[in-house]
Amino acid sequence: MAEDLQIITGNKADQYHSLIPQIKGLLEGEPDLIANLANVVAALKEQFGWFWVGFYLVKSEELVLAPFQGPVACTRIKKGRGVCGSSWAEAKTIIVPDVEKFPGHIACSSFSKSEIVVPVIRNNQVVAVLDVDSDEYDQFDSTDQQYLEEIVNLIAF
């Protein structure tokens, strides 16, 4: 089965508009969570070329590293710690234009310069977060927030 992603150029919204139906196609008929998380991060990485894209799953009161694309990363993050743990604690998306200015930022890589973390909420509980890092400053905005929130909501947890 051919699963090649169609990559487009254009503005951010155009790129998300092209990618979202393809992500729906990848998720369709596949019940396995890890397989679906793996394909979503791969699709995002392929389209946008970000430095790091990955999920952390809430497990026993910690975030634990799950499928990702990019350099090796911290495996466990406590609630309220770093951008990921803050997004979990506050159950909201956090956009960080400059990671050095975010108190408590966890530097898995010194190359990471800006970041967006989107919580995955099911039955009023955060069950995971999607973390995206760029090696350039100020790469994420409300467009990313809107579409990444839409994308995580496509995944059955």
22/86 with CB nearer ligand SME: 86
DSSP-derived letter for residue 64 is E
Judged by beta carbon, residue 25 or residue 80, the one nearer ligand SME is: 80
What track of x and - describes contact with ligand SME for positions 57 through 76 (by CB under 6 A)? ----------------xx--
Q: Which amino acid is at 25?
A: G
If the CB atoms of residues 18 and 145 are measured against ligand SME, the closer one turns out to be: 145
Is 107 exposed, middle or buried, given 0-12, 13-18 or 19+ CB atoms closer than 10 A?
exposed
Both tokens assigned to 61: 């009161």
105 lies in the binding site for ligand SME (CB under 6 A):
yes
Of the residues 41, 44, 77, 94, which one makes contact with ligand SME according to CB under 6 A: 77
- Alpha carbons 95 and 141: distance in angstroms, whole number: 7
CA distance 92 to 108: 21
CA dist 113 and 6 (Å) reads 28
In terms of DSSP H, where are the helices of the chain?
Answer: 12-27, 33-48, 82-90, 142-153
Q: How far is the CB of 84 from ligand SME (least distance, A)?
A: 3
- Of positions 51, 52, 55, 140, contacts ligand SME by CB under 6 A: 52
Tokens representing 35 are 């397989």
Contact with ligand SME (CB under 6 A) among 40, 43, 108, 126: 108
Selected binder of ligand SME within 53, 131, 147, 148 (CB under 6 A): 131
User: Which residues form the interface with ligand SME (CB under 6 A)?
Assistant: 52, 73-74, 77, 82-85, 105-106, 108, 112, 115, 131, 133
